[in-house]
Every structure is written in C-alpha cells, then in structure tokens.
C-alpha cells in the first residue's frame, strides 16, 4: 500500500523526467555531435541558458497552482533589465540598482494581484493589460533604445567560468538552485503552500475553511513578480545592456515549462521539480538543435509538439487513476 | 371540445444501480388538461419528467403520444414529437436576444439565411398570445426580469408547436404577480388544447390551476384523481404516507446555557430578519423548501454573506461575522449544502481537506508538520468510520456518504461548538444517513449546539429537539418537536400557514 502511494506520487514527475532523458538520448546518439553534447561544459552552458526562464517559471508555478496565469512575466523581466542599466547609468551602486529593479518586479506582481482580487477581473485580462504596460514603461525609460551601462560586478553573475573558481558553477546557476529549493520548500512544507494549493483546487472551499484567499493570491503574484525582477537582473547581467525589447514572447516559454512539468491551467496541480525539468527539456532541445545546425523553425515545431504531447500524456495518466 | 388522451405512460420503472426510483408508474394526460404531479423531494418526479422528455430511458414500461408509440432516444426527439419541458432553472442563453432564444434551433431559413421577417411575425404573435406583447424581441435575455424569462421559454415551446408542456416548479422563483400572470397563460394554453404536467410544491397553486393530480411517494403512485373534491390535507397525506422510524437514534436532550443568540439578523440575501436562540446540547431543525431562505440564514451567520443589520451573540459576546476565518475562531462550523462545488476540494487529499480550516495546529513558524497532520487525519477517519485506504487518497475517489463524513469531520477537527449543517444528508445512501444521524445526536450529547437544515422533514422530526420553519424568506414558526407533525411541517413550509389545528388534534389524541 505504501509502495503504491509512492509510485502514484512519483508518477507525476516520472513522465517529464523520462521526456528529458529521451531528449538527451536522442541528441547523444546523433553521430555529428555525440562527442560534444554529453560534455559537462555543454551541460553548464545549458544550465546558464536556463537560468532566466527557470527563475520566472518558479513564480509562474505558484501562480498556476493557485489557478491563475501571468502573461506579464516577460515584460516585467524586460522592465527590470532596463531599470538596472538605468540606475547604474544614473550613478547608483550596483547593489542598490539590483535591489530596486527586483523590488520593482515585486511591485508589478503586487499590482497584478491587487487588480485581480479587488476589481475581480480574471488574471488573464489583468496580466494581459500589465504585459503591455510594463513593456511600454520599459521602452519609455530606455527612450526606445538600449541603455548602455558601465561594466560592474553584476555582469559576472552569468559568466560561464565563475570567479572565484571555487564556486564551480556560475553564480546565476547557484541562484537558480537556491531559489528552486526555497520556492519548493515554501510550496510543500508550509501552511502558505497548502493554502496556495487549496485556492487553486477549490477557491470556495478554501474560503469556507477560513483561508484568506485574496491575501494568498496577492502574495503569490508578488512573489512571482519578485522572481521575474530577479530574472530581469540576470538578463541584464548576460546582455550588459538594458534592452527594452528583450524576452518578447518569453512568457509563453515560461508557461510551457510549467505545463510540461505537470502544472494544470485549471489550478491545484503543479510541481517545482516538474517545472525545472520542463525548462531543461526546452533548453536541451534548443541546444541540441543548434549544435546540429538545424534551423530555428525546426525547434519551434518540436517544442510545440512536446507541449501538446506532455499535456495529453498527463490527461491519460489522470484518466487511469 | 372533445378531450383525447395525448400522453399515456404505463408501468414505467427505473432504477439507478440497485436503488429503484420509479416503480410501475402510470400516468395519463388529455389535451387541454392540467395535471399536477406531486410528491416530496426524492419521490421520483424529476426522474419521471426526464423519462418523458427523453433524457432518460425507462427500464420497463410503455409510453405513447397521441396514440403512437413513444420511446424517445434523446430530448431532441421528444421535442420533435411535441413535448417541451420548462425546467426550474431556465435554459436560456443570456447573451442572445429574446428572438434568438425563441428561434434557437428552429430558425425559419432559406438557403441558410435567417428569414428575419417571418421569425419576427411569429414571435410577436406568440408573445401577445402569452399576454406579454411588451417584451421586445431585440433585448438580450439577461436584461429581462425572471418572470419574463419564463415567458420567453414558454414562447419557445409554443413556436416549436409543443402539444405537451411539462412545467417543473414554475413559480418557485416568481413573485405573486408573475405567478398570477403565469396562471392566465396556462388557461389560454388549455383553451388551445395543450396538455400540461404541472410540478409544484405549492399546493394552493395546484388547487387553483390543476384539473387532475398524480401523487408519487418513494417512486410509486399513491393516488390520482380529480382536484375538484380533494382537499389539501388529503393531498399531503398521500405525499407523506407512513415511514420507518428505526433510522433515528434515541436522543436525550439536556440543554445547557444559551450559546448562540440571533436578534433581528438581516443578511444581504435574506428576505426578512430572523430572531432565534440556541442552547448547548440542542439540535434545532430548520425546515423549508429549497429557496425558502434557510441557506441564506446559515450563510449570513457564518459570515459568507454580508450582514445588513441585527445582532449575533455567541456565548454572551457580540460577534459581527465578516470572514469565515473569524467565525471559525469563534467556534462556528459550517457544512455547505453542496459538497461537490463548495464543501470539499475534491482534487486534494483527505488529510488536507480535514485539516484545512485549522492548519495552525500543525505549524511552527509557518512550517507544516506533515506527520502530525496525517496522524490527526487517521484518527478522524477511524473515529467517524470513513471508508478510505489512507489519508493521502484524493477526496473525489470516495463515495458520497464518505465525502460528507469528511466534510463533517472537518468541523470536529476545527473544534466547532456550533454546527451549522445545511442539508447534511442530501444525496447519500440510507446507511450513511443513519450514521450521520448518530454522529449529530452524539454532538448534542457532548453539549455542542447544532442547527440542522433539511428539506426532508421526517429526519428533522427524528433527530431535532425544536424545529423552525422558513417560508419565502421568512422564519414563520419555531416549536418543540412534540408540537409538530409531518403534516403540519409540510403545510407550514408550502403555505406559510402555521395554524396548528392538526398538531393540536394529534396531541390531544395522544394524551
């Protein structure tokens, strides 16, 4: 009986994990690249490329579990990226510039949550509006061009070879790992986490049980906003400029990662481990396709097919229960 | 006009699983006749209607429409044969206009284009026949008052040339004025030779509008005949019959101090203010029909609806319910009448559902102690005899009775002192019901207080100490259970009339 339960729990994560293994297996069997693909250096490379999507997807997992959606994630990220450059250019210390831009991300998230709970407008619409507004503000701040900022230590956050070298991995990767653990613990081990699941599973029941559903949602969107701000900081670190047109359409990748990892758009379901696997599946696909010299559109077709397959397989698994 | 039989049903039987719902039911309807179909909740009326309409197939029995064998495969086929059902919750598309709703699926068209002019004429004609020429065909249905929406639904049936109209509780959401106008419509329809099956709880309306009646009880026809020469009392006794009493545990009430006092409480959705007191160790039954204001009263007390006025006093202290969170802390526990939609988070597991309202028992600095939580869940599962493999099983995998026990166990877990139970036995099997009665009486022995709302009056008479009756938004009477009979409760609930001649007579006889 115990075993059965473990298997059932594992079932949710097993599917995405096998998917990831399959992607790895396919590319490592390609004779043209097999030598380079399965190298540690390449894995580090993919990990760095995953940091930005992964950080935003952590927050998106919270939101999707609570039964919501955030279309403004990528715009929020771009605004934060622009703000870091703007503040540094204005003479702020890198620390302060980073802090302010991350907080701004939180503010955007808070606004999303506030409008959703107060105006009772559905998340899709509120965040659709916020997507345009945040992007517009980013372009406004940057006068519709890239903001060049002097090189600071912020730019080494996403370096491939970390300094000091005892870090082994780039600080950005460490940040991704730490945040994943923090959000995972928040979701699985705390009262707040149970409330997030309860709100997404059945908001009326949650309210009946005394859960302050509005506060839970407000917190979820704010946390997610902070994570988007952090992702924006990483984006700046990678680009070394504040680019208001960066990450256009990235919100769909972020949502796709959560969904591939077992998140349900009707709420109440989702896993941090699943989301991370979803991020890596997409990152390895891009990486492998690029190495093979396959054109961009090929990647797009494959990723599209994977999203549908992942969700269909998930439904199938549910049907068996 | 010569009245001929337009609908006849012989020997209709239907079971869901092992439970028989209809047993050998006969019914006949003539053209121009209004036949009342009567019975308590769960007597089988809805099932019979669904069989007539084609939504369900009978296990046995034969039907005919205008002398031709009738065995519809779907509601659509029923419609084509001239049979239309007007359900309690109306089936209209709120965003479409009156015209579009009436013509939906039967648009007059040529080469795929809607012939608006012909449609329009037809609708005008029908609406004025229904005494409602003022309804504009162009406005969207959601802008109409509820009475007018019903007219639209009837108009739709007429345009489809229905000869048999089944109306399920048509006046339950109408004002008296709208009901009056509906009766006029029914009379016009009769004159046109339409046969009507009229389902209603309001017996006085039935006396006014119907020609004949058929009474169902526990799936069987207990009586049929002409309305003329039959009294309301006779109809009620046909509906109730005799019942087993063994289901109910022997209560011994020892009421303690007053724990809940409600003074002129007026919730946002309540029809009129309510005053009540509740003692520890007491079970107060609340009787009334669906929509009589019982649920709205409970929800206001628990802080789910806003309070407009009045006082709520819990253990001597004034309490203004704003959010269920505060109510739970004050010792109130609420069981929703709809466990599927509101009461339970079906996708979550038993353990989370049981403990959700008081997770703080298991938290330190916001972190949950899963082991402790599961341990409590296990205890509750065995204490209430919930049939489950383990606490991590999702709630949707449980049977209805066991789901309801989970919902009730949550209130025990949150250490409620006042239990507000809204239809706790709805839709569960007899054995689970008996078990729930036992649990509720056990609560009173432990000096908790219970308010028990139900549409099924025998169970209120079986387990409650006092019974209050709601009628059309108003609390009309509260009495000790000895002063109620099922007839008197039924009469009060369906007429609002609390003249207690029946119960007095019975009490006198007992003495």
Per-residue pLDDT tens over the stretch A192-202: 999 999 999 99
Confidence (pLDDT) at A50: 95
| A223 contact B CB<8A | no
pLDDT above 70 covers a percentage of chain B that reads 91
Q: Give CA–CA dist B405/B335, Å, rounded.
A: 10
A222–chain B nearest CA distance, Å: 18
Confidence (pLDDT) at B509: 39
Which whole number is the average pLDDT over B285-303? 90
Taking the domain B259-341+415-510, which CATH number applies?
Answer: 3.40.50.300
Do residue A269 and residue B347 have CB atoms under 8 angstroms apart?
A: yes
Confidence (pLDDT) at B122: 83
| B328 contact A CB<8A | yes
Confidence band (pLDDT; 50, 70, 90) for B164? very high
Domain residues for the domain of A235 are 50-147+162-248
Q: B460 and B492 in contact (C-beta within 8 Å)?
A: no
pLDDT higher than threshold 90 for residue A54? yes
- Which of A198, A208, A317 to probe the B interface (max B CBs under 10 A)? A208
Confidence (pLDDT) at A1: 44
Confidence (pLDDT) at A237: 94
Of the candidate ranges A175-184, B12-21, B414-423, the one whose mean pLDDT is the lowest? B12-21
Q: Give CA–CA dist B490/B204, Å, rounded.
A: 12
Q: B350 and B379 in contact (C-beta within 8 Å)?
A: no
Do residue A190 and residue B346 have CB atoms under 8 angstroms apart?
A: no
- Which of B304, B337, B347, B365 to probe the A interface (max A CBs under 10 A)? B347
Do residue A191 and residue B328 have CB atoms under 8 angstroms apart?
A: no
Asked if residue A76 is part of any domain, the answer here is yes
B424–chain A nearest CA distance, Å: 16
pLDDT in tens, A295-309: 888 888 988 898 888
Which whole number is the average pLDDT over B425-433? 74
Q: Which of A191, A212, A321 sits opposite B359 (nearest CB)?
A: A191
Confidence (pLDDT) at A216: 97
Asked if residue A200 is part of any domain, the answer here is yes
Chain B residues in contact with A213 (beta carbon < 8 A) = none
Q: If you average pLDDT over each of A66-75, A143-152, B282-291, which comes out highest? A: A66-75
Which whole number is the average pLDDT over A50-79? 97
A 255-314: CB under 8 A from B: 268-269
Do residue B348 and residue A198 have CB atoms under 8 angstroms apart?
A: yes
A:B CB pairs within 8 Å: 82
Confidence band (pLDDT; 50, 70, 90) for A10? low
Q: Nearest Cα to A70, choosing from A130, A18, A11, A19? A: A130
Q: Give CA–CA dist A52/A173, Å, rounded.
A: 10
> Considering Cα of B18, then B21, then B25, then B31, what sign does the dihedral take?
negative
Which whole number is the average pLDDT over B224-228? 92
B 387-416: CB under 8 A from A: 389-390, 392, 394, 397, 410
Asked if residue A281 is part of any domain, the answer here is no
Confidence (pLDDT) at B510: 40
Which residues are registered as beta bridge partners of B475? B470
Confidence (pLDDT) at A319: 59
Domain-by-domain residue ranges, chain B?
259-341+415-510
A189–chain B nearest CA distance, Å: 5
Confidence (pLDDT) at B506: 42
| B343 contact A CB<8A | yes
Q: Give CA–CA dist A206/A199, Å, rounded.
A: 6
Do residue A201 and residue B328 have CB atoms under 8 angstroms apart?
A: no
pLDDT in tens, A228-259: 999 999 999 999 999 999 999 999 999 999 99
pLDDT above 70 covers a percentage of chain A that reads 95
Q: Nearest Cα to B479, choosing from B495, B461, B506, B462? A: B461
Asked if residue A287 is part of any domain, the answer here is no
Q: If you average pLDDT over each of A111-115, B48-52, B169-173, B230-234, which comes out highest? A: A111-115
pLDDT above 90 covers a percentage of chain B that reads 41
| B127 contact A CB<8A | no
Do residue B334 and residue A269 have CB atoms under 8 angstroms apart?
A: no
| B348 contact A CB<8A | yes
What ipTM does this complex have? 0.83
Q: Which residues contact A233 (CB under 8 A, 6 or more apart)?
A: A80, A81, A84, A98, A101, A102, A154, A157
Which whole number is the average pLDDT over B296-309? 91
Query: A209 is written with which tokens?
Result: 């049980």
A104–chain B nearest CA distance, Å: 26
Which whole number is the average pLDDT over A40-53? 92
Block residue for tokens 């709630």:
B395
Do residue B367 and residue A193 have CB atoms under 8 angstroms apart?
A: no
Which residues are registered as beta bridge partners of B216? B221
Please list, residue by residue across B155-166, b when 16 or more beta carbons sit within 10 angstroms of its beta carbon and e when fewer do.
bbbbbbebbbbb
Q: A123 and A181 in contact (C-beta within 8 Å)?
A: no
Q: Give CA–CA dist B40/B110, Å, rounded.
A: 48
Confidence (pLDDT) at B242: 53
Do residue B360 and residue A191 have CB atoms under 8 angstroms apart?
A: yes
B16–chain A nearest CA distance, Å: 24
pLDDT higher than threshold 70 for residue A311? yes
Confidence (pLDDT) at B326: 92
Rg (CA), chain A: 20
Which whole number is the average pLDDT over B189-210? 88
- Which of B304, B334, B345 to probe the A interface (max A CBs under 10 A)? B345
- To which H or E segment does residue A152 belong? none
Confidence (pLDDT) at B495: 84
Do residue A5 and residue B345 have CB atoms under 8 angstroms apart?
A: no
Confidence (pLDDT) at A56: 97
User: Please, what is the angle between helix A73-89 and helix A250-260, to 10°?
Assistant: 130
| A40 contact B CB<8A | no
Neighbouring C-beta atoms of residue B72, cutoff 10 Å? 21
User: Please, what is the angle between helix A171-189 and helix A272-292, to 10°?
Assistant: 150
Asked if residue A64 is part of any domain, the answer here is yes
Do residue A5 and residue B390 have CB atoms under 8 angstroms apart?
A: yes
Q: Which of A194, A202, A204 sits opposite B359 (nearest CB)?
A: A194
Confidence (pLDDT) at B313: 93
Chain A residues in contact with B368 (beta carbon < 8 A) = 189-191, 193-194
Report chain A's terminal Cα–Cα distance, integer Å. Answer: 15
Q: Which of A1, A198, A212 sits opposite B356 (nearest CB)?
A: A198
Q: Which of B342, B368, B390 sits opposite A205 (nearest CB)?
A: B342
pLDDT higher than threshold 80 for residue B369? yes
pLDDT higher than threshold 70 for residue B429? no
Specify the pairing of strand B418-422 against strand B332-335: parallel
| A212 contact B CB<8A | yes
Of the candidate ranges A170-179, B122-131, B190-199, the one whose mean pLDDT is the lowest? B122-131
What backbone phi and psi angles, to 5 degrees, belong to B335?
-110, 120
| B334 contact A CB<8A | yes
| B336 contact A CB<8A | yes
Cis peptide before B324 (omega within 30 of 0): no
Q: Nearest Cα to A223, choosing from A16, A51, A68, A78? A: A68
Q: Give CA–CA dist B206/B212, Å, rounded.
A: 9
- DSSP, res B343: I
pLDDT higher than threshold 60 for residue A24? yes
> Considering Cα of B303, then B304, then B310, then B314, what sign does the dihedral take?
negative
- DSSP, res B482: G
Asked if residue A37 is part of any domain, the answer here is no
Query: B441 is written with which tokens?
Result: 């009486």
A190–chain B nearest CA distance, Å: 4
Total count of domains within chain A: 1
Q: If you average pLDDT over each of A30-34, A124-128, B242-246, which comes out highest? A: A124-128
| B337 contact A CB<8A | no
B406–chain A nearest CA distance, Å: 13
Asked if residue A19 is part of any domain, the answer here is no
| B324 contact A CB<8A | yes
Chain B residues in contact with A11 (beta carbon < 8 A) = none
Asked if residue A5 is part of any domain, the answer here is no
pLDDT higher than threshold 90 for residue B269? no
Confidence (pLDDT) at B420: 96
pLDDT higher than threshold 50 for residue B508? no
Do residue B346 and residue A192 have CB atoms under 8 angstroms apart?
A: no
Confidence (pLDDT) at A155: 86
Confidence (pLDDT) at B281: 92
Which residues are registered as beta bridge partners of B37? B199, B214
Distances (CA, A) of A159 to A96, A179, A246, A310: 21, 19, 19, 33
Report chain B's terminal Cα–Cα distance, integer Å. Answer: 55
Confidence (pLDDT) at B321: 84
Whole-number average pLDDT of chain A:
90
pLDDT higher than threshold 80 for residue B94? yes
pLDDT in tens, B469-481: 999 888 999 999 8
User: Closest residue of A to B354, CA-based?
Assistant: A209
Confidence band (pLDDT; 50, 70, 90) for B502? very low
pLDDT in tens, A96-127: 999 999 999 999 999 999 999 999 999 999 99
């Amino acid at each position: 009986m115990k075993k059965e339960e473990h298997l059932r729990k594992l079932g949710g994560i097993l599917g995405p994990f096998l998917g990831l293994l399959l992607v790895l297996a396919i590319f490592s069997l390609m004779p043209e690249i097999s030598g380079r693909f399965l190298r540690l250096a390449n894995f580090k490379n993919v990990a760095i490329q995953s940091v930005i999507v992964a950080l935003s997807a952590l927050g998106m997992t919270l939101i999707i579990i609570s039964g919501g959606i955030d279309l403004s994630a990528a715009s929020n990220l771009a605004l934060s990226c622009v703000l870091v450059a703007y503040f540094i250019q204005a003479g702020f210390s890198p620390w302060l510039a980073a802090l302010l831009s991350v907080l701004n991300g939180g503010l955007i998230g808070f606004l999303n949550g506030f409008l959703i709970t107060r105006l009772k407008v559905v998340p899709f619409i509120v965040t659709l509006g916020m997507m345009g507004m945040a992007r517009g503000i980013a372009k406004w701040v940057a006068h519709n061009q890239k903001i060049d900022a002097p090189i600071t230590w912020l730019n080494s956050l996403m370096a491939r070879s970390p300094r000091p070298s005892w870090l082994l991995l780039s600080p950005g990767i460490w940040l991704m790992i730490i945040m994943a653990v923090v959000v995972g613990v928040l979701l699985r081990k705390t009262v707040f986490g149970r409330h997030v699941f309860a709100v997404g599973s059945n908001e009326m029941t949650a309210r009946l049980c005394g859960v302050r559903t509005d506060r839970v949602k407000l917190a979820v969107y704010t946390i997610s906003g902070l994570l988007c701000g952090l992702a924006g900081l990483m984006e700046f670190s990678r680009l070394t400029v504040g680019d208001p047109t960066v990450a256009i359409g990235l919100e769909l990748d972020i949502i796709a990662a959560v969904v591939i990892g077992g998140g349900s758009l009707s709420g109440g379901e989702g896993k941090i481990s699943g989301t991370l696997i979803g991020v890596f599946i997409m990152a390895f696909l891009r990486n492998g396709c690029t190495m093979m010299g396959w054109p961009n559109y090929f990647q797009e077709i494959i990723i599209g097919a994977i999203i549908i397959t992942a969700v269909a397989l998930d439904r199938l698994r549910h049907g068996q229960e | 006009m010569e009245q001929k039989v337009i609908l006849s049903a012989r020997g209709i039987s239907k079971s869901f699983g092992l439970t028989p719902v209809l047993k050998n039911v006969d019914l006949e309807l003539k053209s121009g006749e209004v036949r009342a179909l009567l019975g308590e909740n769960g007597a089988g009326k809805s099932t019979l209607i669904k069989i007539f309409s084609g939504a369900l197939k009978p296990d046995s029995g034969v039907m005919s429409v205008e002398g031709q064998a009738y065995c519809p495969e779907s509601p659509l086929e029923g419609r084509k044969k001239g049979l239309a059902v007007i359900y309690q919750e109306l089936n209209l598309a709120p965003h479409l206009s009156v015209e579009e709703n009436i013509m939906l699926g039967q648009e007059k068209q040529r080469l795929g284009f809607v012939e608006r002019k012909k449609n329009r004429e037809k609708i005008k004609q029908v609406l004025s026949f229904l005494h409602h020429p003022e309804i504009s065909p162009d406005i969207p249905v959601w802008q109409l008052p509820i009475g007018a929406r019903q007219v639209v639904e009837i108009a739709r049936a007429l345009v489809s040339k229905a000869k048999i109209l089944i109306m399920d509780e048509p006046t339950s959401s109408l004002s008296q004025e709208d009901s009056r106008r509906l009766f006029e419509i029914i009379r016009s329809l009769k004159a046109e030779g339409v046969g009507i099956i009229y389902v209603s709880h309001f017996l006085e309306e039935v006396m006014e509008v119907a020609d004949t009646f058929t009474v169902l009880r526990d799936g069987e026809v207990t009586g049929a005949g002409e309305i003329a020469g039959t009294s309301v009392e006779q109809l009620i006794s046909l509906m109730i019959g005799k019942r087993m009493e063994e289901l109910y545990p022997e209560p011994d009430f020892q009421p303690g101090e007053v724990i809940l006092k409600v003074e002129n409480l007026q919730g946002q959705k309540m029809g009129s203010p309510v005053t009540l007191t509740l003692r520890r160790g007491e079970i107060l039954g609340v009787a009334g029909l669906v929509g009589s204001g019982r649920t709205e009263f409970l929800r206001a007390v628990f802080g789910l609806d806003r309070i407009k006025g009045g006082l709520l006093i819990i253990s001597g202290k004034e309490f203004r319910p704003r959010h269920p969170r505060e109510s739970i802390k004050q010792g109130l526990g609420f069981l929703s009448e709809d466990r599927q939609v509101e009461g339970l988070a079906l996708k979550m597991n038993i353990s989370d559902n049981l403990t959700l309202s008081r997770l703080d028992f298991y938290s330190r600095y916001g972190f949950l102690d899963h082991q402790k939580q599961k341990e409590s869940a296990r205890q509750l599962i065995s204490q209430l005899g919930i049939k489950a493999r383990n606490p991590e099983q999702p709630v949707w995998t449980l049977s209805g009775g066991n789901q309801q026990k989970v919902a009730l166990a949550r209130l025990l877990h949150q250490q409620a002192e006042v239990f507000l139970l809204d239809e706790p036995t709805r839709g569960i099997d007899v054995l689970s019901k008996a078990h729930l009665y036992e649990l509720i009486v056990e609560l009173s022995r432990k000096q908790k207080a219970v308010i028990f709302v139900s549409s099924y009056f025998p169970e209120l008479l079986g387990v409650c100490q006092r019974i209050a009756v709601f009628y059309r938004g108003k609390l009309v009477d509260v009495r000790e259970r000895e002063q109620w009979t099922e007839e008197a409760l039924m009469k009060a609930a369906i007429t609002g009339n609390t003249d207690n001649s029946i119960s007095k007579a019975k009490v006198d006889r007992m003495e």
